[in-house]
Structure 1
């Protein structure tokens, strides 16, 4: 079948129907993938499909829980290990999102711990989510050991590095070749994640997102 927006909608509806839902509590869903795999757009479409089935949905962006640059770059600005180990403030993500939406959570959450553009910490007020809410967290490294046990359901977006680098080049102006020296931090850092976590094996569902249609 030729790829069309209707195919995309059908996929989202299928994925939404296959997602567990706690009516008397909260459901945590991960949308994982490398940089440039289309996580943000995918999560938004997925959320709309869940809402279309009558669910309350909160979408959290892991990039709103980045460490400040002094932490992210402490192993060196170009360090792949730094990208893999130091990018995210997992303590805040767990405290402010994963525990509140966990099996014993109260639904009181914060949407961010930092503003990565201004490179400052933020202290947002708590927001209350009604019981029955599904929380989608989209970002990188979501199947790493510290986080893997929190998810009720998870998706890994599979896209070749050659393609994600092209997408990043359009979005960020970076080199379109993943093997370019300037991309070493990201490409090698993701390979470290793959070696440590094999996210495609841990995910509930693996989605080929090479063609966003």
Structure 2
């Protein structure tokens, strides 16, 4: 796959243009876009850039991070604070994402989305108010391991880091998570299945293929 150098601002603009042209295949009124990547790749930053690019084009959008849908610590850390299997398969409440985000934005949905559910710092419910996304508004979901679930996505963007860059840009205290990303690459092949691939080894000089 050939990758072309690009700036983050230009990438945000091009992805926003892609979003404007999306027509959900399942008949939903809201395009759903995933920004998939390890925390070190900062997929949320790209989601925010696309949000701003859509805003100036007059299109409403909502950024949702899976960090706001972690399970309570009693479940998340049941097998210890550094259990790779739990991190890969059990940290995020995918059922809540379906219930509070994807179902309201699916066919026949009402667009009423809960932007986050759980605060990992306080280990309590966030009690955030629901947000109503008008028809045509875009969901910009970001987080790790998104492409291993059967989420109804209309566009998927995978931010990839090579093994060396992933290790360098991941805090040492979180190096225990690295095997989970190796497993994700092997099992889900996000670089091969995503609609758009962004290489982010050098945070100043991304490259992309889309």
Give the Cα–Cα distance (whole angstroms) in 2 for the partners of residues 109 and 26 of structure 1: 12
Q: How many residues align?
A: 196
Gaps of 5+ in 2: 205-210
Which residues of 2 match residues 129-208 of structure 1 at below 5 A?
A: 129-147=133-151, 150-169=152-171, 174-175=172-173, 183-184=175-176, 186-208=177-199
Structure 1 Cα separation of the partners of residues 74 and 181 of structure 2: 21
Q: Distance in 2 between matches of 1:151 and 1:93?
A: 13
Q: Distance in 2 between matches of 1:93 and 1:123?
A: 15
Q: Which ranges of structure 1 fall in alignment gaps of 5 or more residues?
A: 176-181
Mapped to 1, the partners of 2:163 and 2:91 lie a distance apart of 19
RMSD: 2.1
Change (3 A) 1:53 1:60: same
The answer (yes or no) to whether the contact 2:158–2:197 under 8 Å persists in 1 is: yes
Structure 2 length-normalised TM: 0.84
C-alpha deviations, 1:126-154, integer Å up to 9, x for none?
Answer: 2211111001000011101343xx10111
Secondary structure at the counterpart of residue 64 of structure 2: strand
1:21 aligned partner: 22
C-alpha separation in 2, matches of 1:100 and 1:70? 28
- Deviation per residue, 1:71-100 (Å, 9 max, x gap): 112233221111101110111111101111
Q: For 1:124 and 1:47, how far apart are their aligned partners in 2? A: 20
Q: Which residue of 1 aligns with 2:81?
A: 77
Instruction: Provide runs of 4+ in structure 1 moved above 6 Å.
Output: none
